[in-house]
A and B are shown apart, each in its own frame.
Chain A
Amino acid sequence: MSVTSMPPHRLAPSRLATSRFTLPESVRALRLEFKRNAVPYVLPLLAAVFYFNTLRTADGFPPVWTLRASAITDHMLFEFSAFAGGLAAWAGSRDGRRKTADMVATTPRAAWARLSITLAGTLSWLLLAFLAGVAVLYIQTALQATWGGPPLWPVFVGAAGVTVVTVIGFACGVFFPGRFTAPLVAIVALVLYQTGLRQALSVTASGTYALLSPANSPPVVDAGVYYHAAPDLSIVQVMFMGGIALALFGALGLATTLRELTPERGLASLRAALARTDGWLLRAVAVILVACGVAASWTAFALAGTAKPDAVGGWQIPALHSAASDQPVPAAPACTSSSGFQVCVHPAFSFYLSDVAEVLDPVAAEIAGLPGAPVSAKEVASMIGGQDVPSGISGNPPVFEFTAERVGIYFGQFLGIPDPVGWREGFQQGLLDPFLAGPSQQAGSVSLGPAQQAVEDALLTAAGTNVPATIGKMLQNGQPIAGPPAVRSAAQRFGALSASARHAWLAGHLAALRAGTITLAQIP
């Protein structure tokens, strides 16, 4: 029984009632619900799971706003789904669990109002906890990010996800009160989430369900950096989940009527329920809410069916798409040229600018002035026109272009390789591969010949890189191995030359080396 179960004139006078500022009845009931709700008892557990599953995972990502924000829907919503569903079912089943449903049914207050207060209290606690988690995540990102601002759409999607799971759990608790309802709702919510993730990650699945699922793999590292992240899919997801929540909330208003529909009496119970004249307004409102919710969800489902991949790795929905999303985001690059070789990255990635310059400078110095040697390095968008952009050398004067997602043969360079040595090798090889194979080549598709490989090894050694562990294209059981003895021998010979001798030999033989007419024996 709650405050709203009692008729107003029977309420005992309280301290609040005698004070000058008397709170409205519903607010007092909500305050009581806040105090008695079970969610606060579970918050420490939720915080611990949030720390491990969300915060530590996000901390492993580069401090780029869109990437870090993906942890909200990919990780945070997962843990919140379990507790939101279970605790809401727990709150919703209160009357049924305590066998007080008949007792409170005799009170003048509508059952919907009573349930709404309980739902609002539970949902408010969960949303407060969710927003607190988002705040922690965003503050951590703000302290590390070098460009951009917090994206809001992942927060909206996450909040909608928490809301819909809460309402589903609450409705399950109301309609099926029992001790097993809460854990079963939590489990089913998690399985649904994982199924959505499976669909979203599967290369073969392109169904609507996969698009409506908020769970997904992390986006490309520079998502939302060069181009705006289109909110089309987020809008549809919010509309879909909000529609379900609205429809179920309306169904709660019909809970009393639905309970009277017993299968034994068949159509008679339906006619009796429809013939009731009391509470018709509330029932009408409930039916309208159900209809609106179903319509919103159906519309979202239909819109998701029209989605198609956009040019920058996301999804666009023609009915919702804004052309402004396709425009590049203006940003002045962050550059450094401490040793004459200019390196520029997007300001969102300026946190590793000095590291990139430090890695590229010695290799660039080895080949400086040679035909086709890059005079600078520039970071570009990792996806243009729906295609992955490999690194390579292009333009006049030549510029080494790389992306935050792909350098040389390495993919997801800054996301999946925590090893700093591998990171260094990726950049140096990424620059030397297209240079030795010809400036028109792109590093991702380069296959060096033995002589080219020997020269590259020698140049890498001269740049201070441990070559035997770096010949990335020669792999055995997934581990880099040293090249064939003849390649190693030629690389050692060439590396033993002075820098000026190497440079002079390259100046005279670079064209033949690129053409593949130089043999290992011809390398000095």
Chain B
Amino acid sequence: MTAAQVLKPPAAPSGAAGPGPSGLRLVWLHLRSRRVPAGIGALAVCGALLHLALHWHWAFNSGPYAQQVPMIIEAGAATVIAVTAHSPFGETERSAGRWLPRLRLLTVAGMCGLAIPLLQLGAVGESLNAGVLVLARNVIGITGIGLLCSLVTGALLAWTLPMGYMLFCQYALLQAWTAPWVWPVRPPADCGAWIWACAVFAAGLLLFAVRGPRARLSDDS
């Protein structure tokens, strides 16, 4: 072996990233590590499920029952986003750079921004009870709950608390609760419900971006 061989830079791992600015490459690697492409596929599945449910009348057309199935699927999209937050690198990644909080924030915000039109796409041509406003509010609010849950349980089990909240909202829906913190049962233009949903989302997003999901608990179980 000669010195020239040693000094020769190692070849880039094949398929790790395409040519382009390092910032874009970093973002792409971050998204891949979070299984974002698969997550987008899962969101598309949720949109397709919503379309099937509305098209084949799996849900009622009006009344309190009409909101049940859409709410379940919206919560499903939110849990997919929350689960996407899981990092396979755990603690190690936190010492790697200062871009991590921004990447986390970008990922979750982007996934939310993608989930809403994907679900709305599933409802195109069908009658979605309460419309896209409630859909968007549910997605962002329940995503916030999922992100908060990921701080405690780890991202892989972050679907549990949103699921519990959604189940509680099913009860609240049939019992005609009106509290704004039960935003899925409130009308589309209800200010209190929007404030609660946005506040929970903002809190979850901020804490998640700064601290990141818990790295160990869900992996140990």
Contact = CB atoms under 8 A, between A and B. Distances in A.
A52 B161 contact: no
Interface stretch (B37-45, B103-111, B190-198): B37-45
Interface in A159-214: 178-180, 182-184, 186-188, 190-191, 194-195, 198, 201
B57 interface: yes
B221 A36 contact: yes
Nearest to A195: B58
Q: Chain A interface secondary structure, helix, strand, loop or mixed?
A: helix
Given A79-B167, A179-B83, A184-B80, A45 B160 contact: yes
A194 B68 contact: yes
Nearest to B76: A187
Contacts of B46: 187
Contacts of A427: none
B42 A180 contact: yes
B73 A191 contact: yes
B206 interface: no
Given A183-B80, A198-B60, A48 B160 contact: no
Interface in B204-221: 218, 221
A46 B160 CA distance: 9
Interface string B151-166: 0010111011101100
A83 B73 contact: no
B69 A179 contact: no
A45 B161 contact: yes
Nearest to A192: B58
Given A86-B163, A183-B159, A191 B49 contact: yes
A184 B59 contact: no
Contacts of B79: 183, 186-187
Contacts of A184: 42, 45, 76, 80
A194 B76 contact: no
Contacts of B84: 179
A106 B216 CA distance: 27
A41 B80 CA distance: 20
A190 B170 CA distance: 11
Contacts of B73: 187, 191
Nearest to A99: B88
B99 interface: no
Given A180-B39, A187-B46, A191-B58, A45 B75 contact: no
Interface residues on A, range: 35 or more
A287 interface: no
Contacts of A83: 160, 163
Given A52-B168, A180-B80, A190 B72 contact: yes
A90 B157 contact: yes
Contacts of B161: 45
A78 interface: yes
A38 interface: yes
A337 interface: no
A117 interface: no
A45 B164 contact: yes
Contact of A194 (B58, B160, B164, B218): B58
A56 B168 CA distance: 12
B80 to A, nearest CB: 6
Interface string B59-90: 11000010011001101100110011010000
A26 interface: no
Interface string B20-42: 00000000000000010011001
Nearest to A187: B76
A186 B157 contact: no
Contacts of A187: 46, 49, 72-73, 75-76, 79
B53 interface: yes
A53 B163 contact: no
A207 to B, nearest CB: 13
Contacts of A56: 171
Contacts of A97: 156
B221 A37 contact: yes
Nearest to B220: A36
Nearest to A85: B163
Interface in A10-43: 36-38, 41-42
Interface string B83-103: 110100000000000000000
Interface in B96-132: none
A49 interface: yes
A37 B221 CA distance: 6
Contacts of B163: 82-83, 86, 183, 186
A195 B50 CA distance: 12
Contact of A198 (B45, B57, B155): B57
Interface in A50-106: 52-53, 56-57, 78-79, 82-83, 86, 90, 97
Interface in A354-411: none
A115 to B, nearest CB: 17
Contacts of B39: 180
A180 B58 contact: no
B170 A53 contact: yes
Contact of B164 (A48, A179, A183, A201): A48
A190 B35 CA distance: 25
Most B CB within 10 A of own CB, among A83, A97, A184, A187: A187
A179 B156 CA distance: 6
Contacts of A90: 156-157
Contacts of A48: 164, 168
A82 B163 CA distance: 7
Contact of A180 (B38, B59, B167, B168): B38
A191 B72 contact: yes
B179 to A, nearest CB: 13
Contact of B168 (A37, A49, A179, A190): A49
Contacts of A178: 35, 38
Given A53-B171, A179-B86, 7 more contacts: A56-B171, A179-B84, A182-B156, A187-B46, A188-B49, A191-B53, A195-B53
10 contacts: A38-B157, A45-B161, A49-B168, A78-B170, A86-B163, A183-B79, A186-B76, A186-B159, A191-B69, A201-B60
Q: Which 10 pairs from chain A and chain B are nearest by CB?
A: A187-B76, A183-B159, A183-B79, A38-B221, A195-B58, A45-B164, A53-B171, A180-B42, A49-B167, A190-B72
Interface of A: 36-38, 41-42, 45-46, 48-49, 52-53, 56-57, 78-79, 82-83, 86, 90, 97, 178-180, 182-184, 186-188, 190-191, 194-195, 198, 201
